[in-house]
């Protein structure tokens, strides 16, 4: 039993931590978020140079052979600054799909650029009717000679605005909610027939609705096997859940610590508010939720590294806990900050909003609770 | 025990409904013309434009049951918006503690909705501990005016208000609650600077307000110098019972069920999702109980008794329920709850739901934070004392 990070991981942790401290104060984040791009191109380049973008990829693909634990290390620190760069969408989700199912030639074509920071990916899976069910896919892909023709709509796609390629989940056979018959395609973002509607999300990030009208894609752009894409999709979703949960953990740490600090400084009724027992206990509760989430994240991450299949139930448990505890910590951080907590001026409100969004991504607390009970 | 409404009450319900029906806004009608006419007609009904005002000041003089009926009916009907500061907060203070001249001067424009008021109580250092306020008012040597200096914070709608009712400090030699003076003065004058505070939903409704040598004639002081705390406290209690908003919640819960029915889940909809349905049911049960808590409180008020202990939990329960409704609206939006910006993405209710959820966090902070409310109940209802700080 060993929960220590390796020396290399500790180095990465420190360098990400420093990066976030130096570059991600609230005002910088707000101004980056409202810029045209929505994040910093310079930061993205630095992340590439520091080797973070290549971390989860195999050495043969230009990466550093890391795994989910390495991603955890990065994402947890990102969570402390609410980093805007598209690490999750491009590296964990888009890149993850290629890593898991891409042909050698697709990987050769895309991954080196991804690792160098010159190419970006996006991952389009959700649809209006699907809610949180991964297998609920209507967007269709019909075979025509050497091509597939895609039609349908994809929702809440992250980083589609700046992506060069989009991994699209579509149905090649079977009924609307069959796991069989799902196929993943790598589609050029500038393809004919592909149109996008971009919009901001409440946490300061961006997303897009994508419409596919007779978008043609060659069979050699299929990721994994035709009809058998669900396994890759599930696996990408699991990695994304681990990464998001790590980010949430970083955000929760900021929230409970900021609250402890604020209540020690703020005086009402001639006492620092931290002296009120009811607030002390509330902060202990926040701290406990944070620690429990950390334990569950470690558990789910290590089980995933060991044996992804048997980790599935734990991952449902993790996302349930992160959703529920994240909002508990967020709501109470706001409550204990009083009026200041509901302003845009303090960072607590921003972290709270990110946790709200994280709960809505890849299934909310309720969804994963129900999934958990099916095992 | 008996829950039948009297035949007078039943007639009253019919009358209220008929009034709302007759005076609905018509297609293409200008909103503000309609709003003015609506209040004009409500006034002619015998003070329906100021339902909460006592008969002595032109209100309808309803029984508590009639007030309850009105509350319920208004949530179902389209009635014009109102801002509570003048009508619901300052007016009772003017009636209770203002002199006749002040009542004649200030009440009619409040009733006509021609003057907008804002509430200048909270300050950077005076939130839950309101008596800690520091905005200074110094009486001139000839005793004709005060000079006000200091800062207010969280002042809702200060940027559109014509007047402010303001708690100021005229004496800091004794205990905090003494030496507070209640002043009224216009907002649009030199020496007053209003700056926006942007809240989580991105909206500008609250402000900081800075006063530099603002002159206020003594005629604009309510009651005696140094007694402002007593006047304001009565009002705060008024504000707190009004914040439960149960009829509104009943309406919104039904609305939420309708929204959830538009969200498909497989072959069915979200209202048939076992997890979601259970949460709605739990909320509804809580709301049913709280509705009767309110009715019990109302019944004792009708009987002229002191408000019972049950009324103290109304704000706590009511605000918690409102927050849960908002949270479940966010859950109903599912993947679309993060969508923001100008366009409507996914479900038409998604963005409003998320905004509503973020804004609902205020409910347990203003008008007495929940923790402070519980302190009051512990002390006043359960008779508990705090461990002394020694
Ligand atoms: C949207 C909005 C609109 C407002 N509009 C107005 C307005 O128009 N006019 C006006 O005058 N004011 C207004 N307010 C101010 C409001 O009344 C204050 O925010 C409120 O009194 C709480 O004060 P505070 O924000 O300074 O929080 P603090 O007093 O700093 O309290 C912060 C938190 O500490 C906890 N706490 C405080 N005291 C205790 C205690 N004794 N025991 C245990 N826990 C405690 C509570 O959780 C509380 O939420 C508004 C506030 C908001 C958010």
Cα(A247)–Cα(A117) distance, integer angstroms? 21
Q: What is the number of the ligand 1 atom nearest to the C-alpha of B156?
A: 8
Q: What would the mean pLDDT of B313-319 be, rounded to a whole number?
A: 91
Q: Which CATH superfamily is domain B115-226 in?
A: Butyryl-CoA Dehydrogenase, subunit A, domain 2 (2.40.110.10)
Q: What is the pLDDT of residue B18?
A: 97
Query: Quick one: which H or E segment has residue A6?
Result: none
- Comparing alpha-carbon positions, the chain A residue that sits nearest to B336 is A156
Instruction: Give the mean pLDDT of A162-168.
Output: 98
What residue segments make up the domains of chain B, in order of their start? Answer: 7-82, 115-226, 245-380
**Ligand 1 pocket mutation, candidates B123, B369, B373, B376, criterion most atoms within 8 A of CB:** B369
Provide the strand spans (E) within chain B: 117-120, 136-139, 145-153, 163-169, 180-186, 192-198, 204-217, 221-222, 264-265, 268-269
End of a domain among A77, A92, A119? A119
Could you tell me the pLDDT band of residue B157, with boundaries at 50, 70 and 90? very high
B181 Cα–ligand 1 center, Å: 21
> What CATH number did the domain enclosing A276 receive?
1.20.140.10
Residues A65 and A56: their CA atoms lie apart, in Å, by 6
Note whether A248 and A185 are same-domain residues.
Answer: no
Are A223 and A260 in the same domain? no
Residue B55: DSSP 8-state: G
A370 and A236 inside one domain = yes
C-alpha span between A344 and B118 (Å, rounded): 22
* Residue in the structure block whose two tokens are 């929230």: A255
Number of domains in chain A: 3
The arithmetic mean of pLDDT across residues B234-256, rounded, is 77
Residue B268 burial by CB count (10 A; 0-12/13-18/19+): exposed, middle or buried? exposed
* CB of B73 shorter than 6 A to ligand 1: no
Confidence of residue B235 (pLDDT cuts 50, 70, 90): low
**A103 and A146 both lie in a single domain:** no
For residues B186 and B115, what is the distance between their CA atoms, to the nearest angstrom?
A: 10
pLDDT at B240: 54
Q: Indicate whether A154 and A266 sit together in one domain.
A: no
Distance (angstroms) between ligand 1 centre and the Cα of B316 equals: 15
How many Cα atoms within 13 Å fall on the side-chain side of residue B6? 7
Lowest mean pLDDT across A106-110, A367-371, B60-64, B91-95: B60-64
Q: Answer yes or no: do A368 and A239 share one domain.
A: yes
What range defines the domain where residue A287 resides? 231-374
Do the Cβ atoms of A356 and B354 come within 8 Å? Answer: yes
Give first-to-last CA distance, chain B, whole Å.
49
B242 band by pLDDT with thresholds 50, 70 and 90 = low
Q: Determine the distance separating the centroid of ligand 1 and the alpha carbon of A95, expressed in angstroms.
A: 46
Are A288 and A368 part of one and the same domain? yes
Task: Report which DSSP code applies to B46.
Answer: T
Chain B residues closer than 8 Å to A278 by CB: 371, 374
Domain membership flag for residue A2:
no
% of chain B beyond a pLDDT of 70: 95
User: Is residue A262 within 8 Å of residue A272, measured between CB atoms?
Assistant: no
d(CA A298, CA A362) in angstroms, rounded, equals 19
Please say which residue of A93, A119, A145 terminates a domain: A119
Tell me what the mean pLDDT of segment B32-61 comes to. Answer: 96
What span, in angstroms and rounded, lies between the C-alpha atoms of B22 and B20? 6
Pick the more confident residue, B306 or A174: A174
Q: Is A266 in the pocket of ligand 1 (CB under 6 A)?
A: yes
* Average pLDDT value for residue range B70-89: 91
Same domain, A177 and A275: no
Cβ atoms of B206 and A340 within 8 Å: the answer is: no
Give the CATH number of domain B245-380: 1.20.140.10
Residue A255 lies in a domain: yes
Question: Predicted confidence band at A295 (pLDDT cuts at 50, 70, 90)?
Answer: very high
CA dihedral A272, A277, A278, A283 (to 10 degrees): 70
Q: Which residue, A100, A119, A138, sits at the end of a domain? A: A119
Cβ of A343 below 6 Å from ligand 1 = no
Indicate if A242 and A351 belong to the same structural domain: yes
Give the other-Cβ count within 10 Å of A234's Cβ.
17
The model carries a pTM of 0.96
Instruction: Find, among B349, B279, B333, the residue nearest to A366 by Cα.
Output: B279
- Confidence check: pLDDT of B389 > 60: no
The reply to whether A268 and A358 lie within a common domain is: yes
Would residue A240 count as lying in a domain? yes
Decide if A59 is inside a domain: yes
Q: Domain with A71 in it: what CATH number?
A: 1.10.540.10
* Mean pLDDT, all residues of chain A: 97
Answer yes or no: do A193 and A143 share one domain: yes
Q: What percent of chain B has pLDDT over 90?
A: 78
Separation of alpha carbons A252 and A291, rounded Å: 10
Q: Tell me whether residue A274 is in a domain.
A: yes
């Amino acid at each position: 039993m060993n929960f220590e990070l390796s020396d290399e991981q500790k180095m990465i942790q420190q360098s990400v931590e420093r990066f976030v401290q130096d570059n991600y104060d609230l005002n910088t984040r707000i101004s980056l978020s409202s810029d045209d791009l929505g994040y910093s191109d310079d930061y993205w380049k630095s992340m590439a140079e520091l080797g973070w973008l290549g971390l989860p990829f195999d050495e043969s693909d230009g990466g550093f052979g890391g795994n989910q634990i390495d991603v955890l290390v990065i994402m947890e620190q990102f969570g402390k600054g609410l980093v805007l760069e598209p690490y999750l969408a491009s590296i964990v989700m888009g890149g993850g799909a290629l890593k898991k199912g891409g042909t050698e030639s697709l990987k050769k074509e895309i991954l080196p650029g991804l690792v160098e920071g010159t190419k970006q990916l996006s991952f389009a899976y959700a649809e209006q009717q699907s809610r949180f069910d991964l297998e609920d896919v209507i967007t269709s892909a019909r075979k025509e000679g050497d091509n597939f023709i895609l039609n349908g709509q994809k929702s809440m796609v992250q980083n589609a605005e700046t992506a060069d390629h989009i991994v699209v989940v579509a149905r090649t056979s079977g009924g609307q909610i069959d796991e069989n018959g799902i196929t993943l395609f790598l589609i050029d973002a500038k393809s004919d027939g592909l149109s996008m509607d971009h919009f901001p999300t409440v946490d300061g990030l961006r997303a897009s609705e994508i419409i596919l009208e007779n978008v043609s894609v060659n069979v050699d752009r299929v990721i994994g096997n035709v009809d058998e894409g669900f396994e890759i999709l599930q696996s990408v979703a699991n990695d994304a859940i681990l990464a998001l949960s790590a980010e949430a953990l970083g955000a929760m740490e900021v929230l409970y610590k900021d609250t402890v600090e604020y209540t020690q400084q703020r005086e009402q009724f001639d006492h620092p508010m931290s002296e009120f027992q009811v607030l002390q206990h509330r902060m202990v509760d926040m701290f406990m939720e944070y620690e429990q989430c950390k334990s569950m994240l470690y558990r789910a991450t290590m089980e995933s590294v060991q044996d992804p299949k048997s980790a599935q139930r734990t991952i449902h448990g993790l996302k349930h806990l992160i959703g529920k505890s994240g909002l508990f910590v967020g709501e109470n951080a706001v409550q204990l900050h009083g009026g200041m907590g509901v302003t845009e001026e303090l960072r607590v409100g921003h972290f709270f909003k990110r946790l709200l969004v994280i709960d809505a991504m890849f299934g909310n607390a309720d969804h994963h609770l129900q999934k958990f009970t099916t095992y | 025990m008996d829950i039948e409404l009297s035949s007078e009450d039943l007639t009253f319900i019919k009358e209220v409904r008929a009034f709302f029906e007759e005076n609905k806004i018509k297609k293409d009608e200008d909103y503000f013309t309609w709003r003015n006419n609506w209040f004009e007609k409500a006034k002619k009904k015998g003070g329906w434009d100021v339902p909460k005002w006592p008969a002595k000041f032109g209100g309808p003089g309803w029984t508590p049951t009639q007030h309850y009926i009105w509350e319920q009916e208004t949530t179902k009907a389209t009635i014009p918006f109102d801002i509570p500061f003048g009508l619901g907060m300052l007016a009772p203070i003017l009636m209770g503690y203002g002199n006749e001249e002040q009542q004649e001067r200030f009440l009619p424009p409040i009733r006509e909705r021609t003057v907008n008021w804002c509430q200048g109580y909270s300050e950077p250092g005076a939130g839950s501990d309101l008596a800690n306020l520091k905005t200074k008012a110094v009486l001139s040597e000839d005793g004709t005016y005060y000079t006000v200096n200091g800062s207010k914070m969280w002042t809702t709608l200060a940027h559109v208000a014509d007047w402010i009712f303001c708690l100021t400090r005229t004496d800091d030699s004794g205990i905090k609650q003494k030496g507070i003076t209640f002043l009224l003065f216009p907002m649009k004058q030199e020496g007053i600077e209003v700056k926006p505070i942007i809240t989580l939903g991105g909206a500008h409704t609250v402000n900081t307000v800075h006063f530099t040598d603002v002159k206020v004639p003594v005629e604009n002081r309510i009651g005696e110098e140094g007694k402002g705390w007593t006047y304001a406290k009565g009002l705060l209690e008024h504000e707190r019972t009004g914040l439960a908003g149960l009829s509104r919640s009943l309406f919104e819960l039904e609305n939420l069920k309708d929204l959830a029915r538009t969200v498909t889940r497989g072959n069915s909809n979200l209202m048939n999702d076992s997890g979601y349905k259970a949460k709605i049911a739990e909320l509804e049960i809580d709301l049913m109980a709280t509705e009767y808590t309110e009715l019990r409180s109302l019944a004792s008020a009708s009987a002229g008794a002191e408000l019972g202990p049950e009324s103290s939990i109304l704000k706590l329960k009511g605000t918690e329920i409102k927050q849960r409704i908002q949270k479940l609206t966010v859950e109903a939006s599912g993947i679309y709850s993060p969508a923001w910006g100008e366009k409507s993405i996914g479900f038409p209710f998604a963005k409003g739901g998320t905004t509503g959820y973020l804004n609902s966090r205020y409910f347990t902070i203003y008008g007495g934070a929940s923790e402070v409310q519980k302190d009051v109940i512990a002390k006043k209802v359960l008779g508990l004392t705090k461990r002394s700080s020694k």
